[in-house]
Chains A and B, each alone.
Chain A
Amino acid sequence: MAITGNRIAIKGVAAEPIIEEILFSNNTLNKGLVTFEDDVKAQTIFSEADATATMQAWISGAPTTQGSLNSWDAEITPEKVMFYQEFDPETLRFSRYKRSMLAGAWNNFSTEFERVVIGGIYAKRISLSAERNFWLGAKAATKATIAGLTAGVPNTSIGAEEQAMVAASLGEDGQFDGLLTKLLYNTSRDGGAAAVGERLKVVGATIDASNIKAEYDKVYSAIPAEVLENGQLPTIYAPYSHKQLITIFNNNVANYKDAFAVSGDSYMFNGLKIEFVPFPENVVLCAKKEHLFWVTDLMSDVNTMKMDKIAENREDYFLKSAMSIGAHVANQKFNVLYVG
């Protein structure tokens, strides 16, 4: 892709800052909102186990075995993906960027362009793309499979709202199945058969500032009680817009303020931390961080980019970034997924 956009031949002065587009931060990575499982080249086994214990009457003779002991594996291979662009720095020779090019006809590379556009905006875009695909990615084949399922009310069926949400919002670049897709349809079960995920389904509504507490109550009440009693508390993952809706809700003097506790940039609901991620509207997930996995070969691949001349006899450049990425959900039956 060439460098696009009109640039004016610089004659006088250029205002110093280059106004960059405003982008979200990759909070999933920066704040560690999920569990990062790195050093996964291919085929890593995630194991889960459960058991049942059955009390039975004492007998002096030969006892009968009762209850069960179960351990099963899911094999996860992250998808290898890349970002690649080519550009010709010569197109910047008459623009503001010429001021940061070294003297000499051989030199047409602008350090200002490299710093602001490549190292700044483009690198940030790659990181955000990785985050968005992690949450929202879906292969076309998986989307088609989910669209073909018969929607129903039982937890074992795909919900009508879930089906609509997949059709309307999931996919992004379509290279792999992201976390929301994996919550709804996966092979992470005993035997490895593909089926609807075991997530706890909550049918939601259109969330606005007036009903946000009532809708979050639905999520909270669906959490299995043992999840709140054991270890790390679950996290509520919500769309960015909920930050504003919560503030508007709390600004209403008639509302009970302790439901959503806000302190600086920390948002809580009933004692559970809310984290804002690139979710579709009207979608809320409540899960322990240790149940959600970002699977990759090397975490720092997201921040690594190669830039060089395309060939020794050419003066145009390439930018290449490679990474492997995948999503995995563990302990599925303890994760609450609200879709309105």
Chain B
Amino acid sequence: MVKKKYVLKKGVVLRPYGVNSLLDNSNLTDSIAELMIKKGRADLSDFIQHKQIKKSK
């Protein structure tokens, strides 16, 4: 299974289409997350940031 790039932080949900709409980690895909960020309905800070760790050689 491919690991999702965008995972909402605990307690964060998005309501991009009004109070009766709901996006959480159960129905949020990476493409929808990117669309929400592009449209200004979500912020990068809503998501868990995966830091890339560089290993020293």
A and B together in one complex: yes
Given contacts A206-B40, A206-B41, contact A283 B35 (CB under 8 A): no
CA distance A280 to B23 in the complex (A): 13
Interface positions of B from 6 to 55, Cβ below 8 Å from A: 14-18, 20-23, 27-29, 31-32, 35-36, 39-41
Which of chain A's residues have a CB closer than 8 A to the CB of B14?
168
**Chain A residues near B35 (CB-CB < 8 A):** 160-161, 164
Is the CB–CB distance between B29 and A147 below 8 Å?
Answer: yes
Residue contact B17 to A160, C-beta cutoff 8 Å: no
CA gap between A282 and B17 in the complex, in Å:
6
Q: Name the B residues within 8 Å of A151 (CB-CB).
A: 31
Given A160-B35, A167-B29, A239 and B18 touching (CB < 8 A)?
Answer: yes
Question: In the complex, which residues of chain A have a beta carbon less than 8 angstroms from the beta carbon of B22?
Answer: 168
Q: Assuming the A-B contacts A206-B41, A281-B18, are A167 and B23 also in contact, with contact meaning beta carbons closer than 8 angstroms in the complex?
A: yes
Main secondary structure of the interface of B (DSSP, over half): loop
Confirm or deny: A227 has a beta carbon within 8 angstroms of a beta carbon on chain B.
no
Contact yes or no, A280 B21, CB < 8 A:
yes
Quick check: is A157 within 8 A (CB to CB) of the other chain?
Answer: no
- Smallest beta-carbon distance A312→chain B, Å: 42
Contacts A206-B39, A206-B41 given; indicate if A168 touches B31 (C-beta within 8 A). no
A164 to B21 Cα, complex, angstroms: 10
CA distance A142 to B36 in the complex (A): 22
Interface contact B31-A169, CB-CB below 8 Å = no
Do A168 and B39 have beta carbons less than 8 Å apart? no
A165 within 8 A of B: yes
Smallest beta-carbon distance A3→chain B, Å: 26
